[in-house]
A and B are shown apart, each in its own frame.
Chain A
Amino acid sequence: MQKEKLHNPDDRKILDGLKAGDESTFLNLVRENHDALISVARGYVKTRESAEEVVQETWMAVIKGLDRFQGRSSLKTWMFSILCNISKTRARRDHRTLLFSEAAGGDGQNESAVDPSRFSPSGKWEDAPASLEDKTPERLVRNREFMEVFRKSLGDLPDTQRMVVILRDVQGFSSTETCNILGLSETNQRVLLHRGRSKLRGVLERVV
């Protein structure tokens, strides 16, 4: 049988495993994506429970739809797109809407990357950031105290910022993929990414 041409050739092994009913392939896929799926779903629906139901429905749709997956996008993009469609339907039912265009305008808080009082009137640092020295990402993720605060801050980001940061920086989607999954313009995506990352950088600076 002629195999479909895949957008992401690395998906071949996973796809073959899934179609052959290989449970460890499925479990790996679940473990790598479940948290992010929940986190993105939470942007659309009210409660953790609803998000878990949406994610469960997503896995069901993925399993059932495998034969129809044509590989025009990566498997992950496809999964997250399914999640967003199911989430939106659910949100409509709950009379809840998430507006990215408004969200990009801010959550009412000060949206400067850095507190403006740290700069002189001419825009030069007065209270400059300190060097992280040997604190590499690999070291920081092993620092439990830091990670606790960092994870909480990621969870506390405004919905749209958190969704973009999760897709881009945690799951490694490109900006184009992220825009397609969430139905966002490139500019909105960049603004949300900027604000989310800037807040988390602030956490890094305060805690480290």
Chain B
Amino acid sequence: MFTCLEITENVTEYLEGSLGLRGRIMFRWHLLFCRPCRIYVMHVRTTIGVLGNLEFEGPSQAIEAELLNLFRG
């Protein structure tokens, strides 16, 4: 069985699908009975979601103009 601390250390392996079948079942089993760990996993998923939604600042206009010149050749 996983402890709560082990859940926090294995969450990436779980989300990456690299825990193996037995590990995955044990992980889910723990979550079923542990609200704080469900919240923890939600934190991690939200963090990944924020990263995936980051807005790009992009290059400055000067650099952009320079790059465009390169592209024009």
Partners in one complex: yes
Residues of A at the B interface (CB closer than 8 Å) are: 21, 23, 26-27, 30-32, 34-36, 52, 56, 59-60, 63, 112-114, 116, 119, 122-125, 128-132, 135-138, 140-141, 150-151, 154, 165, 169-170, 172, 175, 186, 190, 193-194, 197-198, 200-201, 204-205
Q: With A60-B70, A129-B43 as given contacts, are A113 and B8 in contact (CB-CB < 8 Å)?
A: yes
Please report the C-alpha to C-alpha distance between residue A198 and residue B13 in the assembled complex, in whole angstroms.
Answer: 12
B32 located at the interface, meaning its Cβ lies under 8 Å from any Cβ of chain A in the complex: no
Q: Chain B residue with minimal CB distance to A131?
A: B39
Q: With A23-B68, A135-B46 as given contacts, are A125 and B56 in contact (CB-CB < 8 Å)?
A: no
- Could you name 10 residue pairs across A and B whose Cβ atoms are closer than 8 Å? A26-B71, A113-B9, A114-B5, A114-B40, A122-B3, A123-B5, A135-B46, A141-B50, A169-B52, A197-B12
Instruction: Please give the distance in Å from A42's CB to the nearest CB on chain B.
Output: 14
* Among candidates B9, B11, B13, B53, residue contacting A137 with C-beta atoms closer than 8 Å: B53
Q: Chain A residue with minimal CB distance to B5?
A: A123
* Residues 44-73 (chain B) with a chain A CB within 8 angstroms: 44, 46-59, 63-64, 66-68, 70-73
Please report the C-alpha to C-alpha distance between residue A165 and residue B48 in the assembled complex, in whole angstroms.
Answer: 9
Flag if B12 contacts A190 (CB, 8 Å): yes
Flag if A123 contacts B39 (CB, 8 Å): no
Please report the C-alpha to C-alpha distance between residue A113 and residue B51 in the assembled complex, in whole angstroms.
Answer: 18
Q: Chain B residue with minimal CB distance to A175?
A: B16
Q: Which residues of A contact B64 (CB under 8 A)?
A: 27, 30
Flag if B53 contacts A201 (CB, 8 Å): no
Query: 20 new A-B pairs (CB below 8 Å) besides A32-B56, A198-B8?
Result: A30-B59, A30-B64, A34-B56, A34-B59, A59-B67, A59-B70, A60-B70, A113-B11, A123-B3, A125-B36, A128-B36, A137-B48, A137-B50, A137-B53, A141-B53, A154-B51, A170-B54, A197-B12, A197-B44, A200-B47
